[in-house]
């Protein structure tokens, strides 16, 4: 679906929030309508992307804001089937990584600044701090989301792959990453396979996430009850099993094992050249 094919404002808001949690209607345009249509897709045709698509997506990604213009991210484009198979294996055997014609790996990359410092003969005292790692991870996320929006506006589908952090050292070896460079997530890009187009997944009502002047969690439980019903109905209709948001979150953050190795991420980052001081 391209941005121009997106639905009306009320229909879009209803799909995102459900009829019971509609926010007030406000300004609207094709860009917002396109954003409202976002859905992750986990099945891809093998069709190649039109020539120049990668470069267009990277131009969109590089147009995102970046902290102090440091541009502390990079991306590796993976198209070779054997490499996609390796990253699928390292990401919990997610088959869509093998199917998609383009798998972009987004990197938090402090190595470019480190090389610059070496060339300039300067010690970069600020590089080892957790703050600088966070800047790089935020830069990578903002860049990637611009690429996602650009891809979706072109009728392409995407899904992020956070499971690329399950074993960041193995990923770094496969990609030949230098010190101070780590894969924050991957991104599958391609054309949705028929039957895998997916649907707009409901989100929490705005009363849970939007606070005015001061943080106020009093609406949490009411919003959650409504949202549990919406997610149960969405998952029953569109996924293999029905579940509420509460059930899913309790499983996702209730056990260390659900982190799939990412509980060791801080140690892995230190070994990859991020001291996180």
Ligand X SMILES: Cc1cc2nc3c(=O)[nH]c(=O)nc-3n(C[C@H](O)[C@H](O)[C@H](O)COP(=O)(O)O)c2cc1C
Interface positions with ligand X (CB under 6 A) = 38-40, 42, 94, 159-163, 185, 201
Could you tell me the two tokens for 173?
């070896």
Nearer of residues 39 and 229 to ligand X, judged by Cβ: 39
Kindly state the smallest distance separating residue 251's Cβ from ligand X, in Å. Answer: 13
Contact 123, 117 (CB under 8 A): yes
Whose Cβ is closer to ligand X: residue 112's or residue 201's? 201
Whole-angstrom Cα distance, residue 152 to residue 250?
Answer: 31
- For residue 200, the minimal CB distance to ligand X (Å) is 7
Q: Which is nearer to ligand X, 245 or 274 (CB)?
A: 245
Nearer to ligand X among residue 126 and residue 162 (C-beta): 162
Give whichever of 55 and 197 is closer to ligand X, judged by the CB atom.
197
* End-to-end Cα separation, the chain, in angstroms: 45
**Smallest separation (angstroms) from ligand X to the CB of 122:** 33
User: What is the C-alpha separation between 174 and 76, in angstroms, rounded?
Assistant: 11
Give 183's contacts (C-beta < 8 A, 6+ positions apart): 105, 106, 107, 164, 165, 168, 171, 172, 175, 177
Q: What is the DSSP letter of 37?
A: T
The least distance separating ligand X from the CB of residue 273, rounded to whole angstroms, comes to 22
Q: How far is the CB of 94 from ligand X (least distance, A)?
A: 6
């Amino acid at each position: 679906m391209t941005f121009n094919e997106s639905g009306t404002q009320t229909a879009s808001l209803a799909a995102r929030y459900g009829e019971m949690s509609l926010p007030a209607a406000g300004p609207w345009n094709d860009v917002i309508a396109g954003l409202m249509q976002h859905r992750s897709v986990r099945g891809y045709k093998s069709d190649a992307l039109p020539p120049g698509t990668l470069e267009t997506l990277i131009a969109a990604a590089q147009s995102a804001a970046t902290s102090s213009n440091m541009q502390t991210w990079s991306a590796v484009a993976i198209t070779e089937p054997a490499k996609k198979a390796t990253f699928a294996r390292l990401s919990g055997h997610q088959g869509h990584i093998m199917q998609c014609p383009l798998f972009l790996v987004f990197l938090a990359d402090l190595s470019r600044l480190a090389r610059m410092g070496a060339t300039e003969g300067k010690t970069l005292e600020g590089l080892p701090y957790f703050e600088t790692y966070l800047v790089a991870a935020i830069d990578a996320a903002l860049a990637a989301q611009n690429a996602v929006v650009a891809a979706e506006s072109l009728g392409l589908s995407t899904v992020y792959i956070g499971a690329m952090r399950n074993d960041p050292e193995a990923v770094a070896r496969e990609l030949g990453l230098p010190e101070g460079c780590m894969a924050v997530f991957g991104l599958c890009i391609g054309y949705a396979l028929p039957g895998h187009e997916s649907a707009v997944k409901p989100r929490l009502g705005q009363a849970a996430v939007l606070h005015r002047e001061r943080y106020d969690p009093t609406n949490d439980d009411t919003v959650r009850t409504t949202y549990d019903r919406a997610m149960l109905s969405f998952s029953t209709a569109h996924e293999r099993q029905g579940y509420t948001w509460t059930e899913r979150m309790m499983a996702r953050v209730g056990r260390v094992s659900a982190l799939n190795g990412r509980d060791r991420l801080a140690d892995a980052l230190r070994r990859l050249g991020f001291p996180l001081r």
